[in-house]
Structure 1
Amino acid sequence: MKLISTSVKRPVGVIMIVAAIIALGIISMRSLVIDLFPEIDLPIAVVATSYQDAAPQEVENLVSRPIESAVSTVEGIETIQSQSQSGSSMVIMMFSNGTDLDQALLDVREKIDQTKGFLPDRAGEPNIMRFNPDQLPVMWVGLTGKDSAALTQIADDQIVPYFERQGGVASVSVEGGKDREIQVVLDQSKLQQYGVNTQSIVQALNSSNQSASVGTVEKGNKDLQIRVKGEFESIGDIERTILQTEAGATIHVEDVAEVQDTFKDSSSVTLVNGTPSVVLSILKKTDSNTVDVATNITHGIAELNAGLPSDVNLDVIIDTSQFIQMSIDSVVKNILIGGAISIFVLLLFLKSFRATIVIGLSIPIAIISTFILLYFTGETLNILTLGGLALGLGMMVDSSIVILEHIYSYRKRGYGLVDSAIKGASELAPAVIASTTTTLVVFLPIVYVEGIASDLFTPLALAVSFALIASLVIAITLVPMLSSKLLSKAMEDSGRRYWFDRFLDWVKGKYRSVLKWVLNHRKTTVAGTFLAIAGSLALTPFIGAEFIPSADQGQLEIRVETDAGSSLIHTEGIVEQVNERLQGYEKDIETNYVSIGGGGFGGGMGGGSNSATYTLQLVPASDRDKTTTEIVQNIDKDLSDVPGAEITVSSMDSGMSMGDPIQIQLNGPEHAVLTDLAEQVVAEISSVNGVYNPESAASEGVPQLNIIIDDDQAAMYGLTQEQILGQIQMQFTSQVATQFREAGHEMDVTLLYPENKRSTISDLQDMKIQTPTGTLLPLEEVTDFQEMSGPVTLLRQNQQPQMNVTSDVVERDLGSVVSDVEDVLADINLPEGYSYEIGGQAQDMADSFADLALALVFSIFLVYAVMAIQFENFLFPLIIMFSLPATIVGVMVGLFVVGIPLSIPAFIGIIMLAGIVVNNSIVLVDYINITRRKGVDRYEAILEAGTSRLRPILMTTLTTILAMVPLAMALGEGAETQQPLAVTIIFGLGVSSIFTLLLIPVVYSLFDDLTQKIVGRRKKKKA
């Protein structure tokens, strides 16, 4: 081992390299992007299209279905979903993993371009985008004051430009503001008197509000550009716009309409802690650091408040970086606690501060080296990558412990410092490399696992792998070098820690006695092991399963739905009742943000005037007595009897957009039948224990008045459907004629009729339709009216109607609830042509578990292959592999005792155990073989190997287990995600170590007897 010899003989070079690594690591750590979770690569594209004033049925038939048909042939698409609601369509394409989404988006754009000509004239330009969870805002900031119009202007002119200049900010959007508008309120009687129609007014306003360049002229030696300036400069210019009547007379706009400088009708209201506010949501750039962006914005708020009017205040409503920062801090704290525990264990065993320093240095250097590798691989610093460091903390010193102990054995034989370091490290370096390799190879299949499980835990696997590789390099370079300089008197038996040595001697004596017993009762030992495994597997129904443990982020959502078609004012009244009932939770609620008629916290396709969305930010978990789930249940109970509204309370504590825990997708040919089935499913699954707030996507129908045009009657008057439709739209909706610019602001000039002429059914029935000859006739002369209920949103999947039923899960694990729900659904008789599927987190969990199970099988095979290469033998690796089944006992008992279900993090822990637990068995079997080669009897060799290897096995096991205890206790914010992983490894490794020390010697002796019988038979045959 030339590398070891060089590092020992040239310590200055090693020290300089370590110093460079530390410096580079600190720089890398400061440059790493900080986030809560790794970036999830979801191969999803969205096509959003508007279709103004169209009902959901029209949107589905004329917009959604043509787009679905067009994009369905794009290669790589697994699922197409569409949502059609009044005025808008959203088509969602989910691609198979591994699809080149950039190329797929180009293909989608090409298909959409070919379809544009078939879309209705009033349909907007299709907007094609890539779905990215990072597109959610990182902060919401509230601007409060007395005058909403002034707040909107301050937000647009001062705050938005300032925030968008801050580092890492991608965009800032404003909600709850008032948009200025120039309204041209038409007088119908004067229009009839002068014989002017609305179309001529639109044309006049447009043509009178134009500026253009028309050429150049020479003036001396200069060219002057000729520009005709005709834009409106004041409201008076709009009022004085000239109109031509049918008789050829000239009038002005003010003769037939009143021009008002006002604001657009508000479709939403935002309240922050009960106060009307303008809310700004801030999105970060994809590669920006969430914490840095939030810090920049927070500092900017302090600077902006100093320059705002005294009655205006700017405050943070929701800051997602706070939970990220608290989670990162808690993981770092757990790493420090785990590191301190590991150092204490080393000091206890080694009895030397110098020896402890030699090994302890491998921890910070390995962590710093890992930061460098994470930076250059493009990973972020999140609770999973840091959790990987915390989990690998104890394993980082394993190689160094083995090397140091062997160096010390040479020192006891009388070798010099340098010779001891070189010989001791060189002899065990191959074994240490092989041992570390068995731990590393288990992560190889995880890299090839697809889906969410891969996106979340590949970074964790990389973090652990980088840390172990760095610790291995340190063990065979830095540890020998430091040993040659610092261990002149280290680890000498001077009586210190004598009580611990005496305790270890007592443990060795007890272990030797138990080992003798199991070797003399081999069948009983094997049978007992099988019974223990069977008993632990019997705990499976009591443990259950879930996708990913949710962290108590302290955010909850309240959705308020009043009767379909309710006005904004009516919904505000319901919100006031909800606010009164929330006053009892003031000590737990830090921020109360409600959007009435808007999209709420998550945005999306927006809400209607009959909906309101609350986002409540609770105080940190350490400052309240109840969990978020308990508060959700209490609030839900208190709001259950609010009259005139359907209220749903749910937690937002996952930290990731993983969808609903349970989503039942009903498919079939008719929307109406699916709606009835959805209501039936909601009623049936409500009785399942653990199902919480089940709801159907089939909202109560919006009351609508259908106008049925009598084509024959209309033709008698020379009218077409398009002409009648256009006049009705003009009467009951507004029409933007042109734009008015003032002081750098641009606003709509809108034509509309007075409110009292377009609000009631009688206004519609009394409306006059103008024929091509100028005659006016009542609308009901050529139409019939039919009042009915229309759908709010129409869903389709894979070009077939769909309806979803969703539910949260409380007080039970997801796996058990899904099993009970499937039993209930199996008893429902679905009509022919209708089916259901379980989606949401339940489907993601099943897919991820299947992928990880396959990864576990491959990991076990790779571990066996590595050991076969190391031993150059197939039998001894097979013996060592018997330590794996016993691991199940520890895993199942651990999850049962702690009371947490099997989840993806726990499954990752099982995969990691496949590479960890064999290391102790490798050490034990290898030493048995070494002892037997010296001529020692098998029985005595096993006893000697067991007692002599007990100390290093205890050392490595305890450092690994105790370093993970803080994570297993879920100390701090966000630690719930790593808890199953830590619990799995602690109990799995702990119990497996006991079985390794007792079962592996028994299995070794049984296989040795079997080998001798086979060899004996072969000799007899030959004889």
Structure 2
Amino acid sequence: VDDAIVVIENVFRHLEMGKKPLQATSDALKEIGVTIVTVTIVLIIVFLPIALTSSLVSDILRQFCGVIVFAIFFSLVAALTLVPLLTSRYSKLENKKERWFDMQVSSFRDWISSLLKWSLGHKRWIGLIVIALTVLVCSLFPMGFIGFEFMPDVDQSEFNVVMEMPKDISLEESSALAAKAEAWLMQKPEVKHLITKVGFTTGGDGQDAPYLAEIMVKLVPPSEREMSTERYATMLQKPLSDYLINSRVRLYPATLHGSGNNADIQYIIYGNNVDSVASFSNFALKTMQSIPGTIQQQLSSGDGMPEVEVVVDRDKMSALGLTLDNVGLTLQLALQGNDAMKYMENNHEYDINIRADRDFRKTIEDVSSLSFMNSKGVLISLEQFAEVCLGTGPNKLERYNRNPAVTLSSNVTGISSGQASSEFLDRVQERAQIAGCSIETTGDMKSMSDSMGVMGGAMLLSLILMYLAMVLLYNNWIDPFVVMFSIPFSILGAILALAISGTSLNIYAMLGLVMLIGLVAKNAILLVDFANEQRAQGADMDFALTESVKMRTRPILMTALSTIIGMIPVAIASGSGAELRNGLGWVIIGGMALSTFLTLIVVPVMYKILHRKKKTA
């Protein structure tokens, strides 16, 4: 509605001069029409880079940007056609006592005009105040007031329970333990229903093994429980682990993107030496455990898998007339089986697995007594040429860039994943270099890093395109720069609002920053256009700037207030999925509030500085 507000306000300003509605509308459009078109072009250009790039962030936000672009375009059409039609026919001044809002606007206009007069004569003081404010707001990042995350946590009323039982457990025993966990969970009044999978887990670390199980738990709606899904899952972690004594339990709240079993923080630790990677991984795990707010820290290497180790004496084996191929195939057939044969019935094909009976492969003695037939037809037992013993092997083999690797993961509660990640890297980077290991970010943290890069690049491209478009419209290089100078103030206000509200910087908050670029530039364009008109009519610099602020304070305040008031419900909403939009709302509220005030002071000061230099040149 910004374009319509600017047109209507300008029409009423001309009506206050004593003009008739038709003449007032015509003069107002001649005066403000080009400015409105400029503002619309700037707003559309701001969103184009996000809509036209190809990345995960663009895929998430493309529809939003497309809707905004079309809405802005049709609002321009309405402001230049329908609104003038209505104002020319139905506009009239009411002869009533000045309203409270008009009185407040007039008082603010007079106060800001007097402040501007002082500022135009004390430009260095204004510069010092702006620099001090910038340093103060930017210091909120290292002080930990602003967190980073890819997407805000949304209460989906679901969480996953991943159970890791003893490695030597059978599938039947795993199923019994999973049923025990099911019964315990169903006693909770917040649990609505659940689905259990035994023998494998899904998600980024999905595995197939008899000792694994996964329970997908559906909770009652948020209105019927006292705490969020994340807090509820965190609360259940310890009592469920205590109940399932022999199982390692991890709980993951469901997310809108990716898998529910992906941890908030994930790193791949890799290097040339297996022992160095293992040693440094243990150090990294202890470091992560020492960071407040991190929970469920673990390494993908786990505790190791129990196995039977067979160490063959090749000389004895050859002397007994056996080959390594013969021994290996026989062991595979006896212990793992062979499913080369098929059975067909009713057009369905079934694998037939042939292997030694369970009674002949229960103990290590059973493995030692396995028989092999040599080329002379003599049966020879395994213990005659090999040493058989119990041992442990790696839980799973990982490689990254052809190097041995281990994945470190952790969830967070009470802090953002960006804060925990930053503190972790600060503590381990030096030790990693000494150990010859590298740390690669993955999972949501990598998505966050990529999204910040994409959104940062989109913002930079938006600024460049916006500046070039205004250069063409103004036919000079200085006025667009004056307009662009208003944008940093909106970013400062947005950061301040995020810190006060306790909201993390995520892709939706970044989208709000992109929106602010166009919204804030609009106010500066209104001031610069009117100042140029006044100077073209022969007014001196200070008078032109003061008059532009007086004449444009009302429409600037009206558009800023309409935006801020419209965003308050978005910022404070608490319904389903509201977490996605809270950051966007706070960013726009803070950015518009601070930039509206500073734009009325700093933009005229910059206009005077740059145009004076231009005149001197």
TM-score by length of 1: 0.55
Name which of 599, 605, 609 aligns with 2:210: 609
Whether the 8 Å contact between 2:327 and 2:372 is mirrored in structure 1 is yes
Name which of 791, 801, 807 aligns with 2:410: 807
Matched position secondary structure for 1:978: helix
**CA–CA distance in structure 1, aligned partners of residues 433 and 137 of structure 2:** 39
Range that drifts further, 894-903 or 517-526: 517-526
Q: 1:724 to 1:1008 in 2, by over 3 A?
A: closer
Q: 1:490 to 1:698 in 2, by over 3 A?
A: same
Whether the 8 Å contact between 1:692 and 1:810 is mirrored in structure 2 is yes
AA at the equivalent of 1:842: M
Q: Which residue of 2 aligns with 1:679?
A: 282
Deviations, residues 444-485 of structure 1 (Å, cap 9, x unaligned) = 4435666433333344333322221232233334434x427x
Q: CA deviation at 1:935?
A: 4.2
Q: Which residue of 2 aligns with 1:529?
A: 130
Whether the 8 Å contact between 1:664 and 1:806 is mirrored in structure 2 is yes
**Larger C-alpha radius of gyration, 1 or 2?**
1
Range that drifts further, 588-597 or 775-784: 775-784
Matched position secondary structure for 1:650: strand
Q: CA deviation at 1:771?
A: 4.8
Whether the 8 Å contact between 1:512 and 1:943 is mirrored in structure 2 is yes
For the pair 1:649 / 2:241, whether they are aligned, the reply is no
Name which of 552, 556, 569 aligns with 1:966: 569
For the pair 1:492 / 2:492, whether they are aligned, the reply is no
Q: Count how many residue pairs are aligned between Structure 1 and Structure 2.
A: 612
Matched position secondary structure for 2:397: strand
Deviations, residues 182-241 of structure 1 (Å, cap 9, x unaligned) = xxxxxxxxxxxxxxxxxxxxxxxxxxxxxxxxxxxxxxxxxxxxxxxxxxxxxxxxxxxx
Unaligned runs of 5+ in 1: 1-396, 1016-1023
Matched position secondary structure for 1:648: strand
* Correspondence list, 1:390-409, <5 A: 397-406=1-10
Name which of 199, 211, 216 aligns with 1:597: 199
Q: CA deviation at 1:770?
A: 4.2
Q: Which residue of 2 aligns with 1:65?
A: none
AA at the equivalent of 2:240: L
For the pair 1:539 / 2:140, whether they are aligned, the reply is yes
Whether the 8 Å contact between 1:441 and 1:863 is mirrored in structure 2 is yes
**CA–CA distance in structure 2, aligned partners of residues 703 and 996 of structure 1:** 69
* Correspondence list, 1:440-589, <5 A: 440-447=44-51, 451-480=55-84, 482-483=85-86, 488-495=89-96, 498-519=99-120, 521-540=122-141, 541=143, 542-579=145-182, 581-583=184-186, 586-589=188-191
Deviations, residues 693-751 of structure 1 (Å, cap 9, x unaligned) = 21111022222123345555555665443344444444344444644444454434554
Matched position secondary structure for 1:877: helix
* Correspondence list, 1:235-384, <5 A: none
Matched position secondary structure for 1:864: helix
Q: Which residue of 2 aligns with 1:921?
A: 524
AA at the equivalent of 1:454: S
Q: Which residue of 2 aligns with 1:792?
A: 395
Name which of 210, 221, 225 aligns with 1:620: 221
**CA–CA distance in structure 1, aligned partners of residues 334 and 387 of structure 2:** 18
**CA–CA distance in structure 1, aligned partners of residues 181 and 365 of structure 2:** 35
Whether the 8 Å contact between 1:662 and 1:806 is mirrored in structure 2 is yes
**CA–CA distance in structure 1, aligned partners of residues 570 and 60 of structure 2:** 18
Whether the 8 Å contact between 1:671 and 1:794 is mirrored in structure 2 is no
AA at the equivalent of 2:199: G
**CA–CA distance in structure 1, aligned partners of residues 311 and 425 of structure 2:** 45
AA at the equivalent of 1:691: T
AA at the equivalent of 1:466: F
Whether the 8 Å contact between 1:553 and 1:655 is mirrored in structure 2 is no
Q: CA deviation at 1:514?
A: 4.0
For the pair 1:875 / 2:478, whether they are aligned, the reply is yes
Q: 1:688 to 1:759 in 2, by over 3 A?
A: same
Q: CA deviation at 1:555?
A: 2.4
Q: 1:452 to 1:657 in 2, by over 3 A?
A: farther
Q: CA deviation at 1:409?
A: 5.9
Q: CA deviation at 1:806?
A: 1.4
Deviations, residues 81-115 of structure 1 (Å, cap 9, x unaligned) = xxxxxxxxxxxxxxxxxxxxxxxxxxxxxxxxxxx
Q: 1:552 to 1:497 in 2, by over 3 A?
A: farther
AA at the equivalent of 1:608: A
Q: Which residue of 2 aligns with 1:895?
A: 498
Q: 1:522 to 1:684 in 2, by over 3 A?
A: closer
Q: 1:995 to 1:723 in 2, by over 3 A?
A: same
Q: CA deviation at 1:897?
A: 0.9
Q: CA deviation at 1:789?
A: 1.3
Q: 1:829 to 1:461 in 2, by over 3 A?
A: closer
AA at the equivalent of 1:961: I
* Correspondence list, 1:40-59, <5 A: none
**CA–CA distance in structure 1, aligned partners of residues 21 and 418 of structure 2:** 61
Whether the 8 Å contact between 1:884 and 1:917 is mirrored in structure 2 is yes
Q: 1:686 to 1:477 in 2, by over 3 A?
A: same
Q: Which residue of 1 aligns with 2:548?
A: 945
Whether the 8 Å contact between 2:43 and 2:518 is mirrored in structure 1 is yes
**CA–CA distance in structure 2, aligned partners of residues 604 and 939 of structure 1:** 66
Q: Which residue of 2 aligns with 1:35?
A: none
Name the structure, 1 or 2, with higher relative contact order (CA <8 Å, separation 6+).
Answer: 2
Name which of 418, 423, 431 aligns with 1:828: 431
Q: 1:655 to 1:834 in 2, by over 3 A?
A: closer
Q: Which residue of 1 aligns with 2:362?
A: 759
Range that drifts further, 890-899 or 803-812: 803-812
**CA–CA distance in structure 1, aligned partners of residues 19 and 432 of structure 2:** 84
Name which of 249, 273, 292 aligns with 1:689: 292
Q: Which residue of 2 aligns with 1:698?
A: 301
Deviations, residues 885-936 of structure 1 (Å, cap 9, x unaligned) = 3223312210111111223332332233222212111112222232343444
AA at the equivalent of 1:401: I
Deviations, residues 859-892 of structure 1 (Å, cap 9, x unaligned) = 3333332223222233333333332232233122
**CA–CA distance in structure 2, aligned partners of residues 948 and 640 of structure 1:** 68
For the pair 1:981 / 2:584, whether they are aligned, the reply is yes
AA at the equivalent of 1:606: Q
**CA–CA distance in structure 1, aligned partners of residues 124 and 315 of structure 2:** 96
Range that drifts further, 571-580 or 882-891: 571-580
Q: 1:523 to 1:785 in 2, by over 3 A?
A: closer
For the pair 1:430 / 2:31, whether they are aligned, the reply is no
TM-score by length of 2: 0.88
For the pair 1:632 / 2:227, whether they are aligned, the reply is no
Unaligned runs of 5+ in 2: none
**CA–CA distance in structure 1, aligned partners of residues 352 and 400 of structure 2:** 41
Q: 1:629 to 1:735 in 2, by over 3 A?
A: same
Q: 1:508 to 1:426 in 2, by over 3 A?
A: closer
Q: CA deviation at 1:1009?
A: 5.1
Matched position secondary structure for 1:805: strand
Range that drifts further, 962-971 or 713-722: 713-722
Q: 1:706 to 1:884 in 2, by over 3 A?
A: same
Q: Which residue of 2 aligns with 1:295?
A: none
**CA–CA distance in structure 1, aligned partners of residues 602 and 351 of structure 2:** 82
Matched position secondary structure for 1:543: coil
**CA–CA distance in structure 2, aligned partners of residues 858 and 821 of structure 1:** 32
Q: Which residue of 2 aligns with 1:930?
A: 533
